[in-house]
Amino acid sequence: MTRAAVALGSNMGDRRANLEFAVRGLASCGEVVGVSDLYETAPVGGPEQGPYLNAVAIVDTTLPAEQLLAGLHDIERRRGRTRTIHWGPRTLDLDLLLYGRESHTSDSCMVPHPRMHERRFVVEPLLNVWPEAALPDGTRVSTFAATFADQDLSNLGAWWPPRQAGQGFRERGGWWVVAQLLLIGLVVAALGMGGPVIPGESALRVGGAVLALAGLALGILGLSHLGDRLTPFPEPLAGGEIIHAGVYATVRHPIYGGIVLGLVGIALFGASLYGLLLAMLAGVFFWMKAGREEMRLLERFPHYAEYRERTRARLVPWVL
C-alpha cells in the first residue's frame, strides 16, 4: 500500500460539485484517507480565465503510479475534461503530486510533480491535509511554504464530507427555512389579531395592494426561470448553474424580494402596525439569507462575482 497525494482543481461549471465528483471517483483508485480544506486561487499561466477551487486528497493505493495517473485521467474524462488549450480553463484537473517516497520519470508519468514546489495552491492544501509530506530525497514539503509571498490564496474552510441534499437538515441551512416560515406566519397572525392601526387607511390600502401585486409578479417571474432547480435552502443544489436571464438580469433574488414586497403590501393593506414591523423584520431576514446563499454561490461558481457586480440589486429590481 502506497500513500499518494492528488491535487484537485476546477474553474468551469459548478466547481465544488466537480471536486466532489473527483473525491468520490478516487475511491476506485484506493482509499481516500484525507481531504484538505477548500481554497480559491487566481489562475497561473494560460489564457484569461476564472479563478480556481483547489484542494488535495490523500489516497492509500495498491495501484502502480502509472495506473493511478491513468485512473485520474479517466475521472477527468468522465467529468467532461477536454485538453484543447494548454493551461486553459477546465472542469476538472487532477495531478499526481507524490507517490510515497518514490520517483517516476517517463513520457506518461512524472512523480513528484515537477512544478509542485512552485505553486502555493498545491503546497498549502497538501500541508493542510498531510503536514509531514516529503519528497523522495527526504526534503519536507513544508520548506517550500515560505516562498509564495506573491501568490494569493483564500482558504474557504472544510468542505468534505460535502454539504448537499441528502445530508443533514442543519448542514443544508434548514433553520433558515424554519425561521422564514415562522416570520411569514407571524405577519399573517398579526393581521388577524388586530392591534394598533396605521393612519391613512384608504391610501394605505391602495399602496398595499400595489406592493402586494408587485411582489406576486416578482415572485412568479423568479419561479418561472428556476423550474426544478428551486430549493428553499440557502445551500445551492449540486450541479446547478447561475441563472442570469429574464428577471435575474435585474435582481439576484427575485423570489425573496417578492415575498418581502408581498408581506409589506399585505400589512399596509390591513393597516396593521405590528404586521408592518414584522414584514420589515422579514425583509432584514431575507437580505441576510440571500447573503448567505451568495457566499455558497461564490464558492461554487467562478463567475458569480462578475454577475453580482453586473446585477446590483439583491431583492428588488433597481431598488434594493
74 catalytic residue (yes or no): no
Query: 78 an active-site residue?
Result: no
∠ CA 14-256-285, rounded to 5°? 105
Nearest residue to 259 via CA among 227, 300, 289: 289
Question: Nine-digit cell at 188?
Answer: 399573517
- Give the position of cell 384608504: 202
Whole-number CA gyration radius for the chain:
25
pLDDT class of 201 with cuts at 50, 70, 90:
confident
Residues of the chain with CATH 3.30.70.560: 2-157
- Catalytic annotation, pick one of 15, 90, 119, 314: 90
How many CB atoms neighbour CB 63 within 10 A?
Answer: 17
CA 148 to CA 212: how far, in whole Å?
A: 55
- Whole-angstrom Cα distance, residue 64 to residue 62? 7
Per CATH, the number for 2-157 is: 3.30.70.560
Judged by average pLDDT, the poorest of 106-110, 127-131, 259-263 is 106-110
Nearest partner of 229 among 217, 240, 218, judged by Cα? 240
pLDDT given for residue 165 in this prediction: 43
pLDDT digits (tens, 9 = 90+) for 264-291: 999 999 999 999 999 999 999 999 999 9
Contact between 259 and 286 (Cβ < 8 Å): yes
Instruction: Give the bridge partners for 102, in sequence order.
Output: 99
Supply the pLDDT for residue 163.
52
Percent of residues, the chain, with pLDDT higher than 90: 57
Give the number of other CB atoms < 10 A from CB of residue 147: 12
DSSP codes joined into one string, the chain: -EEEEEEEEE-SSSHHHHHHHHHHHGGGTSEEEEE--EEEE---SSSS-PPEEEEEEEEEE-S-HHHHHHHHHHHHHHTT----STT---S-EEEEEEETTB-EESSS-EES-TTGGG-HHHHHHHHHH-TT-B-TTS-BGGGGGGG-TT--EEEEE---SPP-TTS-TTTTTHHHHHHHHHHHHHHHHHHHH--SB-S-HHHHHHHHHHHHHHHHHHHHHHHHHHGGG--SSSSPPTT-----SGGGGT-S-HHHHHHHHHHHHHHHHTTBHHHHHHHHHHHHHHHHHHHHHHHHHHHH-TTHHHHHHHS--SSSTTT-
In this predicted structure, the answer to whether residue 166 has a pLDDT above a threshold of 50 is no
Task: Tell me the pLDDT tens digit for each residue of 27-45.
Answer: 999 999 999 999 998 876 5
Residue 303: pLDDT band (50, 70, 90) is confident
Q: Has 101 been annotated as catalytic? A: no
**Which has the minimum average pLDDT: 87-101, 125-139, 245-259?**
87-101
- CATH 1.20.120.1630 residue ranges in the chain? 174-310
Q: Answer yes or no: 60 catalytic.
A: no
ω into 112 cis (within 30 of 0):
yes
Residue range 156-162: mean pLDDT, rounded: 84
N- to C-terminal Cα separation, the chain: 57
Catalytic position from the list 37, 60, 74, 81: 81
> What is the percentage of the chain residues whose pLDDT exceeds 70?
92
pLDDT-wise least confident of 179-188, 198-207, 278-287:
198-207
Question: What number does CATH give the domain 174-310?
Answer: 1.20.120.1630
Name the catalytic one among 3, 14, 16, 93. 93
